[in-house]
C-alpha cells in the first residue's frame, strides 16, 4: 500500500438548487468523507490506497462500499455493522461562497470504530498513514482507534500525514479538540493545517510561530494552507510560499483541502521537492472547487498535467 487512511464516509446529499435548505426539495445523492476523498484522489493519480472504517449494514453502506471499491481503494478493512446506520450529510449551497454542512452521523456505524478494528499487519506494510482530525472527534472509541493506528505507525516507522480538519460541530468543546488534536500532532511527521485551524489551536501568532509550535511537537514538515491564496511550507531548514492557481468560477469549495492532501502526498510518494508537492496540492485543490461534489472533480494525472499547462498558458490543440 502507498497510503492507508481511516475515517467515516457518508451518503452525501447535495441540493440541485441553490438557496436555503428549507426550500430545497431535490437532492443528488453522492458519497463523501475526507479520508476517502484523499484516498480516491491518490488512486486517480495511480497510487494504491486502503481505507479502514465501518458502514451500516444498509443500502447506503452497500452503495458506499461499491463506490469506494470502484475507485480502486482497498476496502478489505471496512466492516458492515448491523447495529448502527451509515452516517448522512447534507449540503446547503446558499451561493458558491456560502456553503453549510449538516451532519446526521451521531451514533453512526463509523462512530463505533474501535482500536480493535486496526490490524497491525495492515499498518505495517504502508508507505504513509493519513489521519484527519475528524475521526477522533466522532467518539471516544474512534479516538482510541486513531491512537492505535498511530502506535503501529510508530512501531513500523510509517510516516504520518495529519490534516487537523477541524469540525467544531463534532467536538464536545474547544478544549477537548485542542487537547486531542495536540496529542495526535505529537505523533505526526507532516502536518497540513489551514491558517485558521492553527489559530484555533494556538491563538493569534505569526505563521512562523505556528510552524514552530507544530515542530516542537515533533513534526518535520508543516504546511499552512491559505485557501485560494496558496500554502506556506516549513521544514527545519527551509520555508516558502507557493501561490495557488486562480479559478474562474468556484462551484463547490468543499473537498479542496482533501484534494490538496492528495496532491501533496502524491508529491511525497514521487520523491518530488516539497515545493513541487505543495504546487500539486494547490492545483488539485483548485480543480476540486470547480466541480459539484467532494470527489467528482479529483483529476487523474493527465487532467492534472493539462490544468497546470493551461494555467501556464500552453494550450493543447
Binding site for ligand KDG (CB under 6 A): 32-34, 37, 89, 101, 134, 167, 254-255, 257-258, 294
* Smallest distance, ligand KDG to C-beta of residue 12, A: 7
Phi, psi dihedrals of residue 237, rounded to the nearest 5°: -120, 20
Nearer to ligand KDG, 220 or 228 (CB): 228
Task: Report how far residue 33's alpha carbon sits from residue 11's, in angstroms, rounded to the nearest whole number.
Answer: 9
Nearer to ligand KDG, 89 or 152 (CB): 89
Nearer to ligand KDG, 2 or 294 (CB): 294
* Smallest distance, ligand KDG to C-beta of residue 228, A: 16
Q: What is the DSSP string of the chain?
A: --EEEE---EEEEEESS-S-GGG---EEEEEE-HHHHHHHHHHHTT--EEEEEEEESSHHHHHHHHHHHHTT-EEEEEEEETTSPPPEEEEEEEETTEEEEEEE-TT-SGGG--GGG--HHHHHT-SEEEEESSHHHH-HHHHHHHHHHHHHHHHTT--EEEE----GGGSS-HHHHHHHHHHHHTT-SEE--BHHHHHHHH-S--HHHHHHHHHHHT-SEEEEE-GGGEEEEEESS-EEEEE----S--S--TTHHHHHHHHHHHHHHTT--HHHHHHHHHHHHHHHTTSSSSSTT---HHHHHHHHHHHHT----
**Candidates 2, 74, 81, 258; catalytic one:** 258
Per the listing, cell 500532532 goes with 185
* Smallest distance, ligand KDG to C-beta of residue 316, A: 30
Nearer to ligand KDG, 158 or 288 (CB): 288
Q: What is the DSSP string of 39-76?
A: HHHHHHTT--EEEEEEEESSHHHHHHHHHHHHTT-EEE
Nearer to ligand KDG, 107 or 218 (CB): 107
* Smallest distance, ligand KDG to C-beta of residue 225, A: 12
* Smallest distance, ligand KDG to C-beta of residue 212, A: 26
Per the listing, cell 502536518 goes with 191
* Smallest distance, ligand KDG to C-beta of residue 124, A: 26
Nearer to ligand KDG, 171 or 234 (CB): 171
Burial class (CB in 10 A: 0-12, 13-18, 19+), 177: buried
* Smallest distance, ligand KDG to C-beta of residue 35, A: 7
Nearest residue to the partner ligand KDG, using Cβ: 32
Nearer to ligand KDG, 113 or 271 (CB): 113
Tell me if residue 258 is catalytic. yes
Active-site annotation, residues: 258
Amino acid at each position: 500500500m502507498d497510503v492507508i487512511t481511516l475515517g467515516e464516509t457518508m451518503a452525501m446529499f447535495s441540493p440541485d438548487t441553490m438557496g436555503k435548505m428549507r426550500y430545497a426539495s431535490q437532492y443528488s445523492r453522492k458519497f463523501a468523507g475526507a479520508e476517502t476523498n484523499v484516498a480516491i484522489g491518490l488512486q486517480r493519480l495511480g497510487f494504491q490506497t486502503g481505507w479502514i472504517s465501518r458502514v451500516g449494514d444498509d443500502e447506503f453502506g452497500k452503495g458506499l462500499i461499491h463506490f469506494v471499491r470502484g475507485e480502486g481503494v482497498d476496502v478489505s478493512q471496512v466492516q458492515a455493522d448491523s447495529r448502527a446506520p451509515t452516517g448522512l450529510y447534507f449540503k446547503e449551497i446558499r451561493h458558491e461562497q456560502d456553503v453549510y454542512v449538516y451532519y446526521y452521523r451521531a451514533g453512526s456505524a463509523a462512530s463505533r470504530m474501535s482500536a480493535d478494528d486496526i490490524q497491525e499487519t495492515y499498518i505495517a506494510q504502508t508507505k504513509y498513514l493519513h489521519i484527519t482530525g475528524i475521526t477522533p472527534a466522532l467518539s471516544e472509541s474512534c479516538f482510541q482507534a486513531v491512537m492505535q493506528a498511530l502506535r503501529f505507525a510508530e512501531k513500523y516507522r510509517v510516516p504520518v500525514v495529519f490534516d487537523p480538519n477541524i469540525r467544531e460541530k463534532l467536538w464536545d468543546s474547544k478544549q477537548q479538540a485542542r487537547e486531542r488534536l495536540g496529542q495526535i500532532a505529537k505523533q505526526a511527521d507532516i502536518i497540513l493545517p489551514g491558517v485558521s485551524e492553527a489559530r484555533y489551536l494556538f491563538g493569534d501568532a505569526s505563521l512562523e510561530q505556528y510552524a514552530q509550535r507544530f515542530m516542537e511537537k515533533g513534526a518535520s514538515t508543516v504546511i499552512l494552507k491559505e485557501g485560494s491564496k496558496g500554502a506556506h511550507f516549513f521544514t527545519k531548514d527551509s520555508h516558502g510560499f507557493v501561490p495557488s492557481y486562480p479559478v474562474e468560477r468556484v462551484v463547490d469549495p468543499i473537498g479542496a483541502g482533501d484534494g490538496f492532501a492528495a496532491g501533496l502526498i502524491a508529491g511525497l510518494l514521487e520523491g518530488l521537492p516539497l515545493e513541487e508537492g505543495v504546487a500539486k496540492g494547490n492545483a488539485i485543490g483548485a480543480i476540486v472547487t470547480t466541480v459539484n461534489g467532494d470527489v467528482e472533480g479529483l483529476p487523474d494525472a493527465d487532467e492534472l498535467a493539462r490544468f497546470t499547462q493551461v494555467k501556464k498558458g500552453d494550450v493543447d490543440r
